[in-house]
Amino acid sequence: MAWTHSELRPGLRWWSRTLSIAACLTATVALGSCAANPPKQPENVCEVFDEKRGWYKAARKAKKKWGMPVHVGMAFVHRESHYVADAKPPRKRILGLIPWRRLSSAYGYAQATDEAWQDYEAQTDRWFTDRDNFSDAMDFIGWYNHRSHKRLGIAKSDPYHLYLAYYSGHGGYARGVWKNSPTVQGYARKVQNQASRYAQQLKRCGKA
C-alpha cells in the first residue's frame, strides 16, 4: 500500500521534505550551469580563466586531444559568441519589420550549425553533447580545426586561415570563396589579433 505525504510518520515526513529540497537545489544548480553568464572581462583571458575555472581545464583538454593551442580556441569562442552560451544568429525580417526565420541553425559558444554538430557527434562517438556546454564547444572547435589541418594543410597555430576554413567550410575554403570577401577576411584578422593578445596574456599569468 502506498503512503500519501500526510500519512507518513513524522520522521518519514522530515526525510521526504529533505529529499525534495535537495532535488530542487540540484535542479537549480544544473539549470544555472547551463545558463552561465559570460565572463566579466572577456578581453583578458587570464581574468576569464580566474572567473571560470572549469574553462581552463576544458581548453587544456582540447589542446591535449586535438593539438589546439589554448589561445586559438578561446579566440574562436570570443569571435563566435562572445562567450554567450545560448548565442544565436539574428532573425531575418519581412519588410524589414516582421521577425522571421534565423539566418542559420548556428547555436552556442562555437556557433556550430545543426549539420556540423551532428557530423561532430558521429565522427567522435560523443552522443551526449551540448552546444551550450563550454567543454563540448571547445572540443568541437578542436575537432574542426584538426580536420582543417588534415584536409587543407593549415597549421594548428594559424588562427587566421583556420578561421577562414571554419567560417567558409572546408569546401568553400578550398575553392577560395573567402578571397573575394573582405568581410570574412576581416573576421579572420580579428580572430588572429585576439589570439595573439590572448597568447601574450597567458604567458604573463603562467597559463600558456
Per the structure block, which three cell numbers stand in for 131? 552546444
- Identity (one letter) of the amino acid at 99? P
**pTM summary value:** 0.79
On the 0-12 / 13-18 / 19+ scale of CB atoms within 10 A, 186 is: exposed
Contact in structure between 136 and 127 (CB atoms under 8 Å) = no
**Which pLDDT tens digit goes with each residue over 122-162?**
999 998 899 999 999 999 999 999 999 999 999 999 999 99
Instruction: Give the C-alpha separation, 118 to 126, whole Å.
Output: 10
**Which pLDDT tens digit goes with each residue over 38-74?**
999 999 999 999 999 999 999 999 999 999 999 999 9
- Identity (one letter) of the amino acid at 125? D
User: Looking at the predicted structure, is the pLDDT value of residue 88 above 50?
Assistant: yes
Element holding 50 (H helix, E strand): helix 45-51
User: Looking at the predicted structure, is the pLDDT value of residue 17 above 70?
Assistant: no
Provide the pLDDT confidence category of residue 92 given band limits of 50, 70 and 90.
Answer: low
**Torsion sign across C-alpha atoms 183, 173, 110, 117:** positive
Question: For 29-38, 71-80, 160-169, which range has the lowest pLDDT when averaged over its residues?
Answer: 29-38
Contact in structure between 88 and 107 (CB atoms under 8 Å) = yes
Q: From 168, 130, 118, select the one nearest 148 (Cα to Cα).
A: 168
CA angle 187, 192, 194 (to 5 degrees): 95
Instruction: Give the C-alpha separation, 160 to 28, whole Å.
Output: 40
Instruction: Give the C-alpha separation, 200 to 208, whole Å.
Output: 8
